[in-house]
Amino acid sequence: MTDYPQLLHTAIDTTDARELAEFYRQLLGLTYRPGDEPPTGEGADQADWLVLVGPDGRRKLAFQQVERLERTTWPAHDVPMQMHLDLTVSSAEQLEPQRERAQALGAVLLLDRTDDADEPLYVFADPAGHPFCLFVG
């Protein structure tokens, strides 16, 4: 036991919880918490709260359905980011294939700073408009 609170997961607001959960599930290789898997057969998926877990079963990300969400205008500051995720790869050679994967899954490239020798990175918007960075860790 620790004397400090422990981070359970990061919750992200979205107007389509399933779509955004699927994006991050595929991008990060996560799985659904038992009971949160997509429904099989007929019927609409009305999930308003979904959780993704890592290989060890620990919670990583949660997705909360909201009625309205204003997309950030980053890098302009009219509508601030409010939050963003930092994701890393182990080498500069992995940046390009992961950029391709992210965009194939629906991410939008906002900034390409891969020519920066000190910290090459990409900044994307996920399908809900939340920014995330991909750089060498």
Q: What is the pLDDT of residues 22-63, one digit of tens each?
A: 999 999 999 999 999 998 876 667 789 999 999 999 999 999
The whole-number pLDDT of residue 2 equals 67
The whole-number pLDDT of residue 44 equals 63
The answer to the question of residue 113 being in a domain is: yes
Cα torsion at 44, 50, 55, 57 (round to 10°)?
Answer: -120
Lowest mean pLDDT among 11-20, 49-58, 81-90: 81-90
Please compute the mean of the pLDDT values over residues 4-22 and round it to a whole number.
91
Query: Domain of 35?
Result: 10-65
Q: What is the pTM of this model?
A: 0.87
pLDDT digits (tens, 9 = 90+) for 87-137: 999 998 999 999 999 999 999 999 999 999 899 999 999 999 999 999 998
The answer to the question of residue 44 being in a domain is: yes
The answer to the question of residue 35 being in a domain is: yes
CA–CA dist 32, 26 (Å, integer): 11
Residue 132 and residue 100 share a domain: yes
Residue 59 and residue 18 share a domain: yes
Yes or no: say if 120 and 135 are a contact pair by the CB < 8 Å rule. Answer: yes
The answer to the question of residue 3 being in a domain is: no
The total domain count for the chain is 2
CA-based nearest residue to 102, from 63, 131, 65, 74: 131
